[in-house]
Amino acid sequence: MKNENLYNYILGIADNSLILGQRLGELTGHGPSLETDIACTNISLDLFGQVRSYFQYAAKIAGDERTEDDIAMLRKEREYKNVLLVEQPNTNFAYTLGRQFLFDVYHLAFLKELQKSADLTLSAIANKCIKEVSYHERFSSDWVKRLGDGTEESRAKMQEAINDLWTYTDELFHQTEADKTMVAEGIGVDVTKLKEAYYKNVSDLLLESTLEVPESKYFQKGGKQGIHTEHLGYLLSDLQYMQRTYPNMEW
Amino acid sequence: MSEEQIKSLEKQFEARIARDEKIEPKDWMPEKYRKTHIRQMSQHAHSEIVGMLPEGNWITRAPSLRRKVALLAKVQDEAGHGLYLYSATETLGISREEMYEQLHTGKAKYSSIFNYPTITWADMGAIGWLVDGAAIINQVPLCNTSYGPYARAMIRVCKEESFHQRQGYEIMIKLANGTPEQKEMAQDALNRWWWPSLMMLGPTDAESIHTEQSMKWKLKRKSNDDLRQQFIDQTVPQAELIGLTIPDPDLKWNEERKSYDFGAIDWDEFWQVVKGHGPMNKVRMKARVDAWENGKWVRDAAMAHAEKKQERKEKQAV
């Protein structure tokens, strides 16, 4: 492939949306209220829409027979590049919203920078996504506030979720080889520069929600290198089921 | 109010309906009209919400990104239908919580078709094509029903349902024109969903207890048997067009009636499912009750937070 770095870079972005969208899709019909059910389904829908734009572009760059669906559904587990945060399960609504919030704050800041990309397709996709992601960020922030500053039970649950998910936040700011090349070419976003503002924004909102900011400095990483938590394999077996069972068919 | 006054109000009320005027929430209405509408509208809302489950079952396994997005959007539409049907029903003086309570305790019914399992991808096609197809036939006449909020909700619901129906048929077309395995999957889904879809249009006229009164109030404009015939006549050519076979050996065009004759429906199966003993009744109800009970702490938190916010606002004002 002529432009392998760009291809890998796009997958690195899109896989986050793909895996998070898949997680949210599990909840449709099972939400705590109709309104939240609709909102979570809507976020999933947005994320898959974004995934399609990215993967259609990646397929074009690959320049062979592969399609957006091949890229989404026919890679091996070690070839998925999403961060560990987004593959974490829907343990309860606090985990779902906590995961969403911790990702959205990053995602929004990332897309703001990606809009400035020298790659016009990526900047156009970022421009389209940012409207959706601003809404996601507002929705998840509002819910962290509600659950944090709600009842004793909800505060305890929200705090537990934030504490558990915190260990996956640092990875958001790790640079891969593809990242570095793309940053040098003016195409990619330097995620290391987003870190400080991220922790400030997240901490401010947690404090406003009467929650504690976790102090732990032990972080997990590996997703960007394809070394995932045990959760991902099960998620992929659903995601890939049809493509694997009925290969080379159109749907 | 004296009996005479009530009689006079009833007479005026029936006359308004006869003139095709819409009844609005604040208008006087007979108690039976209110109760019948609560029953039918909440049943309709419940069907949308329970109906999310069999299709939601395939969201994580949809075969392509395009199909996944379409399925998510469809199930989201159903949640939206549920939302505005519940809201429309609330105008009759019942809360959403009360309606949920009726659903969870089995007092309120929902469309029995959702008590069948979705076991292959083709079921997503069959549900869109057949189940939404039958729903539209049931619902289009309701766009002109006498109760204003219901009629207005149905106009929007019907627009989206007809989109879903085309989308479902399009899934079937793709399968029917696909590999032998895909075609077999499509035929198998048609075999399993055909008869339940016919049953979905309700018991035969002779056994339908609500028909007469509902006709008068324009809550129903055609009998179940007429609707069923309309559905069959509309669907058989669609199956033929894509090379699928309707699983009814007695199905035959009747030149005299200009309609299809069809085989006997297994009403024992219908009543078994309606009474709660279909393949998925218990699973569907458990999913709804679990979602509601597991979500209680979330709803409580939202309420508590809203109250705290309000208190702070009031303190600031002082």
The pLDDT-based confidence of B214 (bands split at 50, 70, 90) is confident
Q: What does the pLDDT read at residue A2?
A: 79
Burial status of residue A68 (CB atoms within 10 A of its CB: 0-12, 13-18, 19 or more): buried
Interface test with A, best of B68, B124, B283 (most A CBs within 10 A): B68
Tell me whether residues B65 and A52 touch, CB distance under 8 A: yes
Is the predicted pLDDT of residue B205 greater than 90, yes or no? no
B53: nearest CB among A29, A238, A241:
A29
B121: nearest CB among A30, A42, A242:
A242
CB < 8 Å from A in window 120-149 of B: 121
Distance from CA of A192 to the nearest CA of B (A): 31
Interface test with B, best of A22, A26, A28 (most B CBs within 10 A): A28
Bigger pLDDT: B216 vs A134: A134
Tell me whether residues A250 and B174 touch, CB distance under 8 A: yes
Go through the domains of chain A in sequence order and give each one's CATH number: 4-245 (1.20.1260.10)
Tell me whether residues B174 and A251 touch, CB distance under 8 A: yes
Angstrom distance (rounded) from CA A201 to CA B296: 29
Q: What does the pLDDT read at residue A59?
A: 98
Q: Is A51 in CB contact (< 8 Å) with chain B?
A: yes
Q: What does the pLDDT read at residue B219?
A: 86
Q: Is B21 in CB contact (< 8 Å) with chain A?
A: no
Instruction: Tally the C-alpha atoms within 13 A of residue A154's C-alpha that lie toward its C-beta.
Output: 26
Burial status of residue A221 (CB atoms within 10 A of its CB: 0-12, 13-18, 19 or more): middle
A29: nearest CB among B52, B67, B298:
B52
Q: In chain B, which residues have their Cβ closer than 8 Å to the Cβ of A150?
A: 300-302, 304-305
Q: What does the pLDDT read at residue B1?
A: 78
- The string of pLDDT tens digits covering residues A205-227 is 999 999 999 999 999 999 999 99
Q: What is the mean pLDDT of residues B108-117?
A: 96
Q: What does the pLDDT read at residue B139?
A: 93
Angstrom distance (rounded) from CA A22 to CA A16: 10
The pLDDT-based confidence of B208 (bands split at 50, 70, 90) is confident
Angstrom distance (rounded) from CA B304 to CA A126: 37
Is the predicted pLDDT of residue B221 greater than 90, yes or no? no
Q: What does the pLDDT read at residue B207?
A: 82
Distance from CA of A88 to the nearest CA of B (A): 15
Tell me whether residues B72 and A48 touch, CB distance under 8 A: yes
Q: What does the pLDDT read at residue B2?
A: 87
The pLDDT-based confidence of B166 (bands split at 50, 70, 90) is very high
Which residue, B88, B266, B262, B239, is CA-closest to B176?
B239
CB < 8 Å from B in window 79-108 of A: 92-93
Is the predicted pLDDT of residue B152 greater than 90, yes or no? yes
B60: nearest CB among A32, A147, A238:
A238
Interface test with A, best of B99, B305, B309 (most A CBs within 10 A): B305
CB < 8 Å from B in window 135-154 of A: 145-147, 149-151, 153-154
Tell me whether residues B297 and A157 touch, CB distance under 8 A: yes
Interface test with B, best of A17, A34, A44, A157 (most B CBs within 10 A): A34
pTM equals: 0.96
* Percent of chain A whose pLDDT exceeds 90: 99
Q: What is the mean pLDDT of residues B279-287?
A: 97
The pLDDT-based confidence of B212 (bands split at 50, 70, 90) is confident
Is the predicted pLDDT of residue A243 greater than 90, yes or no? yes
Q: What does the pLDDT read at residue B33?
A: 95
Is the predicted pLDDT of residue A153 greater than 90, yes or no? yes
Q: What does the pLDDT read at residue B261?
A: 98
**Long-range contacts made by residues A72-79, C-beta under 8 angstroms, separation at least 24?**
A72/A18, A72/A239, A72/B65, A73/A239, A73/A240, A73/A242, A73/A243, A73/A244, A73/B64, A74/A240, A74/A243, A74/A244, A77/A226, A77/A228, A77/A232, A77/A233, A77/A236, A78/A226, A78/A227, A79/A226
Distance from CA of B296 to the nearest CA of A (A): 7
- The string of pLDDT tens digits covering residues A159-191 is 999 999 999 999 999 999 999 999 999 999 999
Q: With a threshold of 0.95, tell me whether the complex ipTM lies above it.
A: yes
